Structure 1
Amino acid sequence: MHFYFRRRFLLLRNFSLRNSLQILSSTPHPTGILRTTKRSFCIPKVQSVAAMSTVTENLGSLKQQLEKLFGESLRVTVPDELDVPPIITPCKDLKHGDYQCNNAMSLFAKIKGKVPEFKKPQSVGEAIKNNVPKSDMIENCTIAGPGYVNITLSRQWMAERIHKMLADGIQTWAPKLPVQRAVVDFSSPNIAKEMHVGHLRSTIIGDTLARMLEFSNVEVLRRNHVGDWGTQFGMLIEYLFEQNQNWEAAPTEAIGDLQEFYKQSKTKFDEDSGFKERAQKAVVSLQGGEEKYRKAWAQICEISRKEFDKVYERLDIKLEEKGESFYNPYIPKALELLSKENLIEESEGARVIFVGGIKRPLIVVKKDGGYNYASTDLAALWYRLNEEKAEWIIYVTDVGQREHFEMFFAAARLAGWLPAEDKYPKVSHVGFGLVLGEDGKRFRTRSTEVVKLVDLLDEAKNRCKEALVERGKAQEWTGEELEQTAEAIGYGAVKYADLKNNRLTNYTFNFDQMLNDKGNTAVYLLYAHARICSIIRKSGKDIEELKKVGTLDLAHPSERVLGLHLLQFPEVVEEAVTNLLPNILCEYLYNLSEDFTTFYTNCQVVGSAEETSRLLLCEATALVIRKCFYLLGIKPVYKI
């Protein structure tokens, strides 16, 4: 089981949205170690260990540091081949090494016949190996298969890097991204409609992406693009006026249950033509700025907003609302700019933009002269690029909106707002699949109603609380501890069950599976973290003092495997956020907990001769697990 997840994680690490298939197919498993000898045409570029330490000190992740070293080797090995990026990947089998440089085969194909000394890929790999600058991070390199350079890291260097993180804080392991400011547009429910399970994925995925970007020292503008401006407000306002003439005195009482209020107004809108006409006029009055209509609209929005905030508070989600209404004043300017580029044309009474490859036009002004989602989204994009100076704008919605985003992104590129190539500033649509019930259909209640998000979270918490009570925790803990632990586990289980799946796929919502304390679940991971904390507590040692006076070693093979996994944390976060795939981080977290279990099974901690070193390794593991939890929006528990 452990080997399966280890192999799956390593495959995910090589995943890229554009070239995953090429990477996976062109990187076969090494078949063995070849005896190597120095060749006269290899000109080693040697530096002292001290000099090399300064080169690798602040280069980011372990993988980035290896890329730096092998980049220098490639420049010496093939000086006539400019800008050859080093291909560094983790070894699929740690028996061969920790990492591989996989440039030899592709380089040989390019220079075959040009350099007489390079008669086969192995000779290129040998040259790359011999030209790697001397570094205290590398213990040795060997050649395998058709020129793969297998890299074994120095055990001492690994231990020192982990100890340094313990001293300086895990923020020193933050990835380095090529952007300084990003917008993450997520959650985005509609005013007057209660949040349901369909909003769960956008909210959870968007929050995790924002957290990973923030950890990477990117300024993130967390935007809640709520639906607060449209024809439905004429219906709601007119129904409010008809039902309660004293609505201004107590708007909350006049509306009552907002979801039910919406249903009633919609029924009347569909069945009463006179009411429908009045509602349509109310929209005109609202958009015209009449005070009475604006006030009613603001009250409806405020009531809805308070309901949203209850969900966000439970999920520990931070958002700044900038809804559709905010961008409405910017639409005329955005459309004027598009018109100046001759992109907008008349079609069947509407104003549209035709983008290449799609027959259906992007409608930016409807036949009746009104604006729509496309016009609002274009205005919002212009604002985010020009007023907020965002370099990366990320939209988190279901996959069903993919074509809409492709079309309006294409329109922005035609207008010159975005570069034609995949350069910054750039936009990304983060699509996700459906939440399904156990019947394989869209997740609903037995009465076919969409499941309310508040009810779902309550159910998760209550089930966890019942399980804790059955284990006797009600007698051991205070009432507050019981409530907080039930919330942390219940809400964490809901989040992790979503995030561990590739977001592009549908997933089946099942409480029994997500609350299981075995397997790849948040419950298992939270328990694993609590066990590590228990080990440290039972030692009776002051872990902060040990960080100052103790040393860390990775002598046992299980210690070394765990240490390597810890050191890979920065590059995993970078990969997850660059590809906008939180499941990569989840896979890493699960494998880390498995590696810790193997370490603890094979290595006595408390009372051993290596107690100090192993307690420090326990603390480093707990720190990385907690940071993973934080990035996934999960609150850790410290005792179970």
Structure 2
Amino acid sequence: MASAAPAQTLGQFTSTAKRVPSVRTDLAGVFSTALRTAFPNVDIQPAVAATNNRDHGDYQCNNAMALFGRMKGKEGAPKNPREVATAILNALPDTTAIDGTPTLAGPGFINIKLSSAWLSERIQILVKQRAVVDFSSPNVAKEMHVGHLRSTIIGDTIARTLEFCGVDTLRINHVGDWGTQFGMLIQHIAETRPGGLQGTTTEEVSDLQTLYKASKARFDAEEDFKARAREAVTRLQSGDPEFLETWKRICEASRNEFDAIYHRLDVHILWRGESWYNPRLTPLVEELIERGIAEESEGAKVITVEGLKTPLMIRKSDGGYGYGTTDMATLAQRIHDEKAEWLIYVTDEGQSGHFKLVFGAGKRAGIIPAKNPPRIDHVGFGLVLGQDGKRIRTRDSGAAVRLVELLDEAKARCAASIKERQETTIERGGEELSAEEMENISSVMGYGAVKYADLKNNRATNYKFNFDEMLDLKGNTAVYMLYAHARIAGIIRKSNKDIKEVAQTAHISLDHASERALALHIVRFTEMLEDTLVELAPNRITEYVYELSNYFNTFYVGCKVLGEKEEDSRLLLCEATAMIMRQCFQLLGIKPLYRI
């Protein structure tokens, strides 16, 4: 990850005087005070983490051993880690967060049990800030394929999380819609289509992809065509009406195709292609040359960045511009015009070197201010692989799998599975789903399965795409989560009670161990949000919601809900679980199902 500001600057996005910090942050503050009081001459940060064994408590302070090691041998130093831990305990300030007195375990681990009353009062209010998330970014005249999947859904989840936290988020689709390839494509259409550029008034993306491949082959093999294609670029960039009109048709066809996929994935994004920044390129380059930031190298203009061997090219030897120029202009526009305090670029890991160069050049040019710079992250991700461990390809042509085909198959497989389960349900006297319900459920489940299967992986790693695994009813899958939510909704529905009315009169009691464990995990939702944004890791959300479903299952097995004296309390705990589960779904871009 390349960053122009340390990850700790997340604090500006997650703190106000009104905001109650996460549980972990609160406890860290308490132990920070204790550490400074007990050992004022030792600079050490509090090490607070959730316990692995719930029998030992909810959280643990693990500073004792490290502190003992640092002080060992010095005059007046504690004799062992437990003595260090005891000193920390004796210095703890009064707090309503901790229930009773913390206990010591092993060589000096301090175990903490949280107050149930304090847990029930947790809230999260996050300050509104400005962020730009650059994601998806397909190329015009080409169909979206499985390679675009990760950028699209990882970027969407990051944007959704920022938005949920109150951050004013601008979602940008930096579409490849400008450059040499369009002169090449338009010139090929002019020469091969009956009627030339006037031969049609509409374009189809599938046709354009075929034309693009043919034009690229000619560009690589025919010097005369290459010269004409470059001339076509000049005519396009100069505003030739005929060439410009053809380019607009090509862009419109691609946009319609992309928007149809975004609609299915419930992704909302602002189209702002490379062409949008074109008027900014020449003034930017001329300024950088005038200031001595850009230097000449073999006829081109480049910016050298300290610590990096390859410079950033901002003008080619033939006077043209490339990705480096556009990305510098983009950086300037987002920082100085959009006033963004956080820039996030979601692309494959292979582009990390390029962005290090861009961000480094941006610092040198002063585009990224030295004082109070924005946080800037390149969110890299690995490849989607087939079962053979290689890039996922179609069996017939070996080309990248079209994204629309992948979504179609996921939906079709879910529809078949639901139909099969429906037959069993009807045989047992259950209610039959309508055709409309079947369509909705198969879409939600199919698209959700594809998203979840991707997002549950560490984004930096490659993963194997497997339909059977992602549609498993018992594994860590969207299908499992959706069924779990539907079961909770069914429990509440069978109670025949208005849950809002219950909430007005009933009080949640956490007498059973599984009730308390479930409640504790629910209030850790805010910690999960912090981890997700600090690491820009959507898998933190999937891990959390999967654990939530497991805690609920343990609770449901150990605590009967309907017909018990604790029914109202447990119904509220069910509803709280479902609410948090739905919020996790929303962050992941998955719609909840209430009946399957």
TM-score by length of 1: 0.85
How far, CA to CA, are the matches of 2:168 and 2:359 in structure 1?
A: 23
Matches within 5 A, 1:504-543: 504-543=460-499
**1:437 and 2:437 correspond:** no
Match of 1:99 in 2: 59
SS of the equivalent of 2:121 reads helix
Match of 1:139 in 2: 99
Question: Aligned to 1:173, which of 124, 128, 133?
Answer: 124
* Aligned-pair CA distance for 1:341: 5.2
How far, CA to CA, are the matches of 1:442 and 1:254 in structure 2?
A: 27
Matches within 5 A, 1:145-544: 145-158=106-119, 160-161=120-121, 172-173=123-124, 176=126, 180-242=129-191, 243-245=193-195, 250-252=200-202, 257-339=207-289, 342-418=292-368, 424-447=373-396, 448-472=398-422, 476-544=432-500
Distance 1:599 1:256, change over 3 A: closer
* Aligned-pair CA distance for 1:222: 0.4
Q: Which one-letter code corresponds to 2:112 in the other structure? A: I
- Contact 1:355-1:361 at 8 Å conserved across structures: yes
SS of the equivalent of 2:255 reads helix
How far, CA to CA, are the matches of 1:135 and 1:404 in structure 2?
A: 49
How far, CA to CA, are the matches of 1:161 and 1:271 in structure 2?
A: 70
- Contact 1:195-1:308 at 8 Å conserved across structures: yes
Q: Which one-letter code corresponds to 1:59 in the other structure? A: V
* Aligned-pair CA distance for 1:544: 0.7
Distance 1:103 1:459, change over 3 A: same
Matches within 5 A, 1:99-138: 99-109=59-69, 116=76, 118-138=78-98
SS of the equivalent of 1:153 reads coil
How far, CA to CA, are the matches of 2:141 and 2:200 in structure 1?
A: 17
Q: Which stretch has the larger CA shift, 247-256 or 513-522?
A: 247-256
- Contact 1:137-1:154 at 8 Å conserved across structures: yes
How far, CA to CA, are the matches of 1:202 and 1:218 in structure 2?
A: 20
- 1:509-537 deviation per Cα after TM superposition (whole angstroms, max 9, x unaligned): 11111111111111111111111111111
Match of 1:626 in 2: 582
Identity level (%): 53
How far, CA to CA, are the matches of 2:189 and 2:334 in structure 1?
A: 35
Match of 2:510 in 1: 554
Identify unmatched segments of 5+ residues in structure 2.
1-5, 9-15
Distance 1:255 1:623, change over 3 A: closer
- Contact 2:23-2:524 at 8 Å conserved across structures: yes
How far, CA to CA, are the matches of 1:634 and 1:589 in structure 2?
A: 12
**1:63 and 2:24 correspond:** yes
Identify unmatched segments of 5+ residues in structure 1.
1-16, 20-54, 163-171
Distance 1:191 1:144, change over 3 A: same
**1:578 and 2:534 correspond:** yes
- Contact 1:156-1:553 at 8 Å conserved across structures: no
Q: Which one-letter code corresponds to 2:116 in the other structure? A: R
* Aligned-pair CA distance for 1:107: 4.0
Q: Which one-letter code corresponds to 2:473 in the other structure? A: D
Q: Which one-letter code corresponds to 2:503 in the other structure? A: K
* Aligned-pair CA distance for 1:489: 0.3
Distance 1:132 1:346, change over 3 A: same
SS of the equivalent of 1:161 reads coil
How far, CA to CA, are the matches of 1:134 and 1:390 in structure 2?
A: 40
Match of 1:77 in 2: 38
Q: Which stretch has the larger CA shift, 73-82 or 84-93?
A: 73-82
- 1:81-109 deviation per Cα after TM superposition (whole angstroms, max 9, x unaligned): 57x54322111222211111223344445
TM-score by length of 2: 0.91
Question: Aligned to 2:549, which of 573, 593, 596?
Answer: 593
How far, CA to CA, are the matches of 1:57 and 1:594 in structure 2?
A: 33
SS of the equivalent of 2:359 reads helix
SS of the equivalent of 1:149 reads strand
- 1:213-257 deviation per Cα after TM superposition (whole angstroms, max 9, x unaligned): 111111111000000111011122223333143755852158873
How far, CA to CA, are the matches of 2:382 and 2:291 in structure 1?
A: 36
Q: Which stretch has the larger CA shift, 209-218 or 361-370?
A: 361-370
SS of the equivalent of 1:394 reads strand
How far, CA to CA, are the matches of 1:419 and 1:91 in structure 2?
A: 42
Q: Which one-letter code corresponds to 1:209 in the other structure? A: I
Match of 2:13 in 1: none
How many residues of Structure 1 are paired with residues of Structure 2 in the alignment? 575
- Contact 2:49-2:60 at 8 Å conserved across structures: yes
* Aligned-pair CA distance for 1:154: 1.7
- 1:323-357 deviation per Cα after TM superposition (whole angstroms, max 9, x unaligned): 11111222233334443553322222222222233
Match of 1:569 in 2: 525
Matches within 5 A, 1:608-619: 608-619=564-575
How far, CA to CA, are the matches of 1:116 and 1:258 in structure 2?
A: 79
How far, CA to CA, are the matches of 1:279 and 1:337 in structure 2?
A: 30
